[in-house]
Amino acid sequence: WCLVRRFTPSSCPPFFRRNRPFSVKSDPLNPTHARPPLNIFLIRHGESTANENDEVYRATPDHQVPLTMRGNRMAVDAGQFLNDFFTNKYGTPAKMGKCRMYVSPFLRTRSTAEGVLMGCSKWISSVRESVYLVEQDWGLFEGPGIKDAEAKYPMEWARCQAMADHQGKYWARFPSGESCYDVCCRVSNLFHELLDGQDHTDDPINNVILVSHGVTIRAFVLMWMNNSPEWFNQSVNPPNCSIWHLDGDADQGFIYSGFDRKGEQVSLEKLVCPKDHQKEHWAAYDSKCLTQYKPHSSIWVHQNQSLRALRVPRAADPQCAEATKDSVEQVEHLSDVESPTMSDTVLPNQPQPQPSDQAAAADD
C-alpha cells in the first residue's frame, strides 16, 4: 500500500497501520503536501417499512424496501442537525472545504440521502453511490427467511448455528451469504477512493458523509479504526438516522443519537461505544517493542559499509569520472579482503579435525 500510494506508513489510514498519529500527513515526493485528518460522518438509513413489519420482505426485495413517512422526516432532521453542526464548526462551506456523500444503492439509503440533502445541501459538494456500502447479505435467510429457516433449511440452519456457537457470530457465514468478516473485507475496498479524494492538492476532499446500514457502518468503523472482532461482537447496530463521527483516527462517537424502533429520539448519553480491550493490549505491546527490540549494531554497520562501497554515482554527475574510479577501487579492495566463512569459524567445544581426517576429506 505504501509503495502504490506513495505515502509513509504514518499517513495510511488506521486500517493499514497501528498506533501512529493520523495528524502526521506527508508525501515523501511532495513534502509541502500536508494531508489533514479525514472527517467521516456515518449515517444509518431512516425507518423503513421492513423496520415496522419484516413481512414486507416476502413481497419486496431487500434493495427495494422504502422508507416510511416517519423515516423521511428522520432523514430531514439529521440533515438539519448536520447543517447546524457544520455552521458552528466552520461558519461557511468555503472554510469547511469539499464534502462528498457516498450512498448505498438501496432505496431506503437513497431516500435517506435525499432527506439529508434537504437539510444541508449547501455543504455537500458531490454525491456518489458505492456498492461497497450495501447491507449484509443473509443468503438463504434473507428477509423473513430467518423465521422459516429452521423448517425450510434444517441442515443449513444447523450448520450456521454450530458455526456461531463454535467460532462466534463475527465469523459465522450465512448460507450463500456473507459473514460480518466478509462485510468488513468488502467495505475496506472503499478506503482507497476516500484517500484518493484527498490526493487532489488543488481542492482536496477532507469531509465525507456515508449513508449506509447498521452492520456495514459497524464494519466500516472496525476496519478504519483497526478494531478487533471482539469489539464488533460487543457493539450493536446504531439507531435510525444516527450520526457517527470519525475524525481521522479519533473515534468521536455519536454526535446525533437518531431514533429507536418506536420513532422516538434516543438519548445521546445511552449511546456509548464499547472499548476495544484487545486493541489496548496490542498498543501496550507495541510500545514495549519500540524500546526492547533493536537490531544488532555490528550487523548494520557492516551492511552500511558494504552498501556505501558499492554505491556508484550516475554518469550525469560532473565529477563522475573521478568518483567512479574511487568507487571501483573500493570495490576491488573489498573483494581482495578475505572474509571469514562458516568453515573457518571455530565454535566452542567443537572437536578439531585430525590430519588424517583432513587428507581423507581432500581425497573425497
pTM for the model: 0.69
The SS3 assignment for 339 reads coil
CB burial of residue 32 (10 Å; 0-12, 13-18, 19+): exposed
**Amino acid of residue 161:** Q
Element holding 32 (H helix, E strand): strand 30-34
- Three cell numbers written together for 11: 499517513
> Can you name the residues that pair with 42 across neighbouring β-strands?
210, 244
Interhelix angle 69-90/107-120, nearest 10 degrees: 40
* DSSP string of 160-213, one letter each residue: HHHHHHHH-TTTPPPTTS--HHHHHHHHGGGHHHHHHHTT-SSS-EEEEEEEE-
Per-residue confidence in pLDDT tens, the chain, 364 aa:
444 444 444 445 554 444 333 433 444 444 444 557 899 999 999 999 988 888 888 888 889 999 999 999 999 999 999 999 999 999 999 999 999 999 999 999 999 999 999 999 999 999 999 999 999 998 877 766 666 777 777 888 788 888 888 777 888 888 888 999 999 999 999 998 898 887 766 778 899 999 999 999 999 999 999 999 999 988 999 999 999 999 988 899 999 999 998 889 998 888 877 777 777 777 777 665 555 544 444 444 444 454 444 444 444 455 555 555 555 555 455 545 454 544 444 445 555 555 555 444 445 4
Distances (CA, A) of 79 to 112, 213, 349, 356: 9, 17, 79, 92
